[in-house]
Amino acid sequence: MTKFPNPPRLGGALKLALLTTCLAMPFSITAGEAMAESKPLVIARNLAINSLDPSRAACDTCLIYLSAVYETLVRLGEDGRSVLPGLAESWEANGDNTAFTFKLNPKAVFADGSPVEAKDVVWSWDRLANAQGGMSWLLDTIKTVETPDAHTLSIQLTQPDAEFLGKVMGPNAAIINSDVAEANGARSTKDAANTDTAEPWFLENSAGSGPFVLQSYSPNDELRFKRNEKYWGEPALVDEIWMKNTKDSIAQAQMIQNGDTDIAMQIAPDTAKTMETPEIVVEKAPSYNYIYMALSPGAKGNTVPLTKPVRQAIALAVDYKGVIDFTVAGAGRLQASPIPNGFPGADGLPEPTQDLEKAKALLAEAGLKDGIDLKVKFPNQNYYGVDMSMLMQKLQQDMAKANIRLTLEPMTFEVWLDVVKGDGTPLTASYYAPDYYGSGQFVKTFGMIPGTRWAKRSGAERVEGEMNPKEEQLLNQALAAPEAGRDALYKDVAMEMINDRIIVPLVNPDNVLVFSSAVQGVRYSINEFLPLRELSFKK
């Protein structure tokens, strides 16, 4: 009979350890599964946060943050036009858009469980105006706000403002828990710009009624959200969202390929094109941001008068479709006027086209047969995936074909801002991202109306015949008009701005969203940018 050697004897302690491990295995798997379900959803983006205070924040990440943590009276629908209830369950406007009434939803509560009341609305809007942050102008048409009861607001405006609901939807018009904020140094009085000391507090705390609350913020590192357990509406679909500061497109691409992030928001279109796999989804969504060229008839550096025909020639020399291909790999759209695609008045406008022969003819008619030389100062940045240096080199190539010779002078944004606010530059380029849903902002920024940003920067105010009073007249009519006639009036203003040839839109880049196929609910929104409340992991 064969004798097998005795198995080695295990020590008592080792036996106990093995037994414990075996017994614990089923429980440890369950714990692992539970962890997987509650894992945070990670988003990679260049945070570039200036503030987390609703009255002072002015950045793209701020829009995402404010929309997730705070709420406005009404919200913009997914179609980008319809108005949905927010904190207000109903609202109405009078015939000429000078008076609005809102009824607050009595169920609405802040994250500490206290009810959202009319006094909080008045306090938040007063603070927005008086703290004098970058968006303090948003509700500047309000004359008086009355609160007949804790859930009713009657608002009188100083002038007709058909875009008032659009402004109220803006994340900066969010409602703050006034009691909590006041207890931490926030003020809404006229002297709030000097007496309000709550901005640092808002970097560590939130006081809103949204589906998330601020968990923590580490500047230039990470912004963490956690679910508001007392949310009065549909609760958030994930427990936590971590937004990791990832500055450049390549780092974001590597993070999502390594599985270190679930969503990457700023991957360059050329890079994104190569990334689609069964695990990674690449989606392009039309945006409302755009890059424009600005021509300044009043710039001190002009060597020839930049008259309207000369500006027309410059605009005709641009290969607009080529600009889209070269700057955003085709992931963008043509834009006719400073009113972007999708906003009232933008439908049916003539698309910009290149016509080199006509451009040369216009220059010849203006006595500039040998062409013109223009110094171009521009901010050497990347806006919404468009590398400005690349864009300007493309324009340089295009315009050379019409004898318009550009000398490029890239500079930092701050230096560029000094230039355009001072002597100006004959030709430059910049970007615009809407502050709310409404076309009036574009006319007030780019129209040749006294006091607008580009009437000043282009020096048009100093040049006879360059201002366009018709634009102001049409804007006022549009703001007082009922919804049915508003688009037609804005379209007329858009045509006027096209003919001004001061602002020439170059490209309306798409938003490129790259995300894990395990994530759902990823979409772009004008106000919320990326609505966090809709994000979840697939089951």
Partner 1 sequence: MTAMGTPQNNNWAKALMSHLRRDFWSALPAYIGGLVVLFWIVVALTAPLWAPYSPLDMVGARLQPPSADHYFGTDGLGRDVLSRTLYGAAQSLPIAVVVVVVGATVGAVLGAAAGFLGGWTNTIVMRLVDVTLSFPPMLLAMAVAVALGPGLKTAAVAMIIVWWPLYARLMQSQVISVKQMDHVEAAVSSGVRRFRILWRYILPLSWTPILINATMDFGQVVLLAAALSFIGLGAAPPTPEWGQMISEGAVNFYTWWIAAAPGLAILSVVLALNFIGDRVRDVLDPRSTT
Residue 382 CB, shortest distance to partner 1, in Å, is 8
CA pseudo-torsion sign 383, 53, 285, 479: negative
**389 lies in the binding site for partner 1 (CB under 8 A):** yes
Write the interaction track for partner 1 spanning residues 268-297; mark x where CB under 8 A is met and - where it is not.
x-xx--x-----------------------
Sort residue 341 into left (φ over 0), alpha (ψ -120 to 50) or beta. Answer: beta
At what angle are helices 356-365 and 308-316 packed, to 10 degrees? 160
How far apart are the C-alpha atoms of 203 and 79, rounded to whole Å? 32
**390 lies in the binding site for partner 1 (CB under 8 A):** yes
How far apart are the C-alpha atoms of 174 and 54, rounded to whole Å? 7
**415 lies in the binding site for partner 1 (CB under 8 A):** yes
Residue 391 CB, shortest distance to partner 1, in Å, is 10
- In this structure, are residues 519 and 282 in contact, taking their beta carbons and an 8 Å threshold? no
How far apart are the C-alpha atoms of 19 and 153, rounded to whole Å? 68
Residue 410 CB, shortest distance to partner 1, in Å, is 6
Nearer Cβ to partner 1, position 88 or 256?
256
**177 lies in the binding site for partner 1 (CB under 8 A):** no
Residue 447: count other Cβ atoms within 10 Å of its Cβ: 28
Q: Take residue 458 and report the two structure tokens written for it.
A: 């282009």
Residues contacting 396, CB < 8 A, separation 6+: 376, 406, 408
Among 118, 243, 392, 404, binds partner 1 (CB under 8 A): 392
Among 393, 476, 520, 536, binds partner 1 (CB under 8 A): 393
Residue 246 CB, shortest distance to partner 1, in Å, is 14
Give the chain's length.
539
Which H or E run includes 240?
Answer: strand 240-245
Nearer Cβ to partner 1, position 271 or 302?
271
Write the interaction track for partner 1 spanning residues 368-387; mark x where CB under 8 A is met and - where it is not.
------------x-x----x
Nearer Cβ to partner 1, position 216 or 407?
407
Among 134, 309, 410, 521, binds partner 1 (CB under 8 A): 410
Among 182, 325, 423, 461, binds partner 1 (CB under 8 A): 325
Residue 327 CB, shortest distance to partner 1, in Å, is 9
Of residues 244 through 273, those in contact with partner 1 by CB under 8 A are: 249-250, 253, 268, 270-271
Residue 503 CB, shortest distance to partner 1, in Å, is 23
- In this structure, are residues 341 and 434 in contact, taking their beta carbons and an 8 Å threshold? no
- Give Cα 463 to chain centroid, integer Å: 33
- In this structure, are residues 168 and 73 in contact, taking their beta carbons and an 8 Å threshold? yes
Nearer Cβ to partner 1, position 268 or 315?
268
How far apart are the C-alpha atoms of 335 and 172, rounded to whole Å? 27
In the complex, which residues of this chain contact partner 1 (CB under 8 A)? Answer: 249-250, 253, 268, 270-271, 274, 325-326, 380, 382, 387, 389-390, 392-394, 396-397, 408-412, 415
